[in-house]
Every structure is written in structure tokens, then in C-alpha cells.
Amino acid sequence: PGILSTRPEGGPIANSQGGGWILPPPTGPMHMGFPTHNAPQQNHPPEVAGTSFGHVFDISTLSALEHRIEVPQDVGDKLVFLMNNLMESNLEQTVGEMKKFLQPSHLGYLSQYIVVKRASLEPNYHKLYMALIDRLGLKELEATVLATTYSSCKALLQSERVRHSSSERALLKNLASWLGLMTLARNKPLLTKDLGIKELLFEGMQKGMLIAVVPFVCKVLEHCAASKIFKPPNPWMMGIVMLLVEIHSQPDLKLTLKFEVEVLCKHLSINIHEVSQMIGKGPGGDNGGRLAAIRKNIDISNSTDFMSKDAVPVGGRKDAKPQGFPGPAHPGMPFFGGFGGPPPGPDAMHTPPGPPGFEHPMGIGPGPHPDPGPAGDGGHMGILPGTG
């Protein structure tokens, strides 16, 4: 079966109440879950929803897959009103109000609303929404929400934009966390017919989709920490972690992807170095040969997953640094935008030398510079080093 394969009957989950399909799969030729180069581009008008510290999420990919399930206007308004006002303090009251009017024919609408308009946008409220589903006590609702979650994850993984859209990758990570909460955290397995994680990772590396797949898998597996069955040293979970560690050890893998694996291991209280030593010792535990075969066919220069050594920086010279940028504080240390780095040392005011024959337009050369003094002293504003 392919990654996030459709159901055996060849389609998505149907609404047993006759409301039609809930989330039909994307059209166009697909191979192992990801779009081929011949897959037609679908240009949907952007639909934005939700903000997080000024970030606006584009949910058009998810909204385009929604099958319109008709519910009476008053029912839709009541559901939206109750969800907008849902809090831990009024959870029982909200459940009681929903039970007064909620009918089986409304479950498809509610499932779409919870997954697309809530879970994908509001990860901080995942446990609250899960508690709501539990309190309602409707098995069909839980099954429909899970099926909608799988379909939504598949839609984002198949999106042509997810490789370059941070918004879609953020949605995918949120849904991954929601999926892990609904399954692994509740001691329920991820079935291969719904989500084959190992094959997803192999395919992601082959198709240049690790930038989306690795964070997705790590977010799902984070919930193993809360599971009585899938927490370490569960063999199924450790097998996936070993594969992630092997991907982590790939030369020139982007630091953001390495960081995702390291955060997962820390969350699960797993020593990544001990996992590296375990690789290859158990039967079927070494995936290095398959990864090496895939790596041979990757064009590193055009990859979003690997850092190309042949990339030419600003200035046109491979051996030149951008002017005025001192680089990492220590060789080999990733630059995290100021987080976790050492404080500036006494040489912080040194200006790095430029290319041969370079002369700074302000006359500033290598070496320490005098204190520019307070703002207004000698015409300096305390921003540029003084020139004497």
C-alpha cells in the first residue's frame, strides 16, 4: 500500500447517515502518496484563518477538500457558538447543550469543523477538543474525526506547496500532533493501511519532502511519551526512531531537520548516541543501504532537505563570507538567530576582513574600534562604530 493509502474500497470514509463523502482524496496521478511531476496544479483562492504571533495560516488546501455537508442554519450557528466559547470550566455545560440538538447527520459537519478549523490551527487546545469528543461519547464521531484527520494529513503531504510553504508545514505539524494525541497517546496503533511511517520517511527522502515529513513524523511520535504501550523501548517506536537517527546522520542534512530529531529524542528521554550504536545490531534494524541508494539519486544542489556545498553566497565567491557578517561564534555551531549562543566576547567589535583589496566605504578596517560614545556625542548615534 502507498503512503496514507485510501481505504480498501478505493475511496474516503463515507457518511453513514447519507450525507455524502466527507473528505474525498485529491485528484490527479499520485505515486506513493506524493504528487508526480504530471499532477495538475490546482489554483485555489487562498483562505486564511487563525493567527499565531502575527502569523496567518493558509488553509486553502484543506478547505478545497471539504465536501459541503449541509446542516440547518441554526445547528451550524449553535455549533460554532459553542466551540468559540468552549473552555475547561464550561466543558460539561457545552457537552450538555450539544447533546440537546446534535443528530447523527450532523457528525460529518462537526468532524470537519473540529479538524480543519480548530485542530489544524490551535494546537494549544488539542486536549480540550479531545476531552469534548470523549465527553460526547459518540463512537461514530470519534471514528469520523480520525478519518478526517488522516485525509487532511494526506492532503497536505500531497500538496505541491508544502515543500516551500511554511504555513502548510505548520498546519501539517499541528495535525500530526492531533493525530498522535488521538492514537498513540491513547494506546491506539497507527495502522500501516492508514499511515506507514517508515515508507513515508523513505519516500520523503526520495522525493525531496523530508522538510515536511520529518517534522510530521516527529510530532506524531512525541505522544509516545504519554503512552503505556508505545513509550520506549517499544520495538515499533524504536524502529522508527532508529530510521530517524540514520536520516539525522546523513551528510549535509539541513540543521532544522536534525534539530527535529534531537528534540524528539529528548522528549522521549532517548540518548541519540546510544541509538546510533544500536543501529545495525538487530535484524532489519539497519536501513543504511536503502538510504544510501536513495541518496545517490538526489540532486543536492536543488534539494530543500540538504545543504549544497556548491552554493554560491552573496558576493559571487564560494570562499567569501557576506561582508560584515561574522558567522557563527564557534566553527560548526548552528546559527539559531541568537538563541542558545554564547554571549559576545571582548572581540565582538572586530570587523572581519573583506576580500583582497577591499576597502570599507566608511574607512573601517579590521581591528578594535573606539567606543562610539553616547548618542549625540561627536555626531554619532551609537549605531555605527566611530571612525575617529
| Banded model confidence at residue 300, pLDDT cuts 50, 70, 90 | confident
Residue with cell 503512552: 227
Q: Please, is 41 exposed, middle or buried when counting C-beta atoms within 10 Å of its C-beta (0-12, 13-18, 19+)?
A: exposed
Cell numbers given for 206: 526520495
Sequence-separated (6 or more) residues with CB below 8 Å from residue 273: none
The type of residue at 216 is: F
Q: What is the pLDDT of residue 145?
A: 97
Asked whether the beta carbons of 265 and 275 are under 8 A apart, the reply is yes
Q: What is the pLDDT of residue 67?
A: 63
Q: What is the pLDDT of residue 178?
A: 98
| Banded model confidence at residue 245, pLDDT cuts 50, 70, 90 | very high
Looking at every residue in the chain, the average pLDDT score rounds to 74
Helix axes 210-221, 255-267, angle to 10 degrees: 10
| Banded model confidence at residue 138, pLDDT cuts 50, 70, 90 | very high
Cell numbers given for 257: 531537520
Q: What is the pLDDT of residue 66?
A: 60
Least confident of 26-40, 93-107, 174-188, 283-297: 26-40
Beta-carbon count within 10 A of 60 CB: 20
Per-residue pLDDT averaged across 258-266, rounded? 97
Q: What is the pLDDT of residue 160?
A: 87
> Could you tell me where the beta strands, DSSP code E, fall in 3-68?
14-15, 20-21, 30-31, 34-35, 48-52, 55-58
| Banded model confidence at residue 289, pLDDT cuts 50, 70, 90 | confident
| Banded model confidence at residue 24, pLDDT cuts 50, 70, 90 | very low
Rounded percentage of the chain residues whose pLDDT exceeds 90: 53
* CATH topology match: 57-182 vs 187-307: yes
Q: What is the pLDDT of residue 157?
A: 94
Per-residue pLDDT averaged across 141-161, rounded? 94
Beta-carbon count within 10 A of 103 CB: 10
Sequence-separated (6 or more) residues with CB below 8 Å from residue 238: 232, 275
42 or 228, which is more confident?
228
Q: What is the pLDDT of residue 49?
A: 54
The CA-atom distances, in angstroms, between 329 and each of 45, 315, 319, 320, 338 are: 44, 22, 18, 17, 10
Report the alpha-carbon distance of residue 44 to residue 65 in Å, rounded: 11
> How are the residues of the chain apportioned to helix, strand and coil, as percentages rounded to the nearest 5?
45, 5, 50
Which has the closest alpha carbon to 62: 127, 136, 9, 115?
115
pLDDT in tens, 91-103: 999 999 999 999 9
pLDDT in tens, 41-89: 444 444 555 544 445 677 877 777 666 678 899 999 999 999 999 999 9
Least confident of 114-128, 207-221, 234-248, 362-376: 362-376
pLDDT in tens, 344-355: 444 444 444 444
Q: List the chain domain ranges.
A: 57-182, 187-307
Buried b or exposed e, range 213-242, using 16+ CB within 10 angstroms: bbbbbbbbbbbbbebeebbeebeebbbbbb
Which has the closest alpha carbon to 126: 226, 213, 43?
226
Cell numbers given for 313: 553566497
Candidate CATH numbers 1.25.40.180, 1.10.275.10, 1.10.10.10, 3.10.129.10; the one for domain 57-182: 1.25.40.180
Q: How many helices (H) and strands (E) does the chain have?
A: 13, 6
Q: Establish whether the linkage from the previous residue to 233 is cis, with ω within 30° of 0.
A: yes
CATH architecture of 187-307: Alpha Horseshoe (1.25)
Q: What is the pLDDT of residue 282?
A: 58
Which has the closest alpha carbon to 36: 208, 213, 215?
208
DSSP, collapsed to helix, strand or coil, labels residue 20 as strand
Which has the closest alpha carbon to 26: 164, 148, 201, 159?
159
Asked whether the beta carbons of 47 and 63 are under 8 A apart, the reply is yes
Report the alpha-carbon distance of residue 388 to residue 376 in Å, rounded: 15
Q: Indicate whether this model's pTM tops 0.85.
A: no
pLDDT in tens, 174-222: 999 999 999 999 999 999 999 999 999 999 999 999 999 999 999 999 9
Whether the pLDDT of residue 310 is over 60: the answer is: no
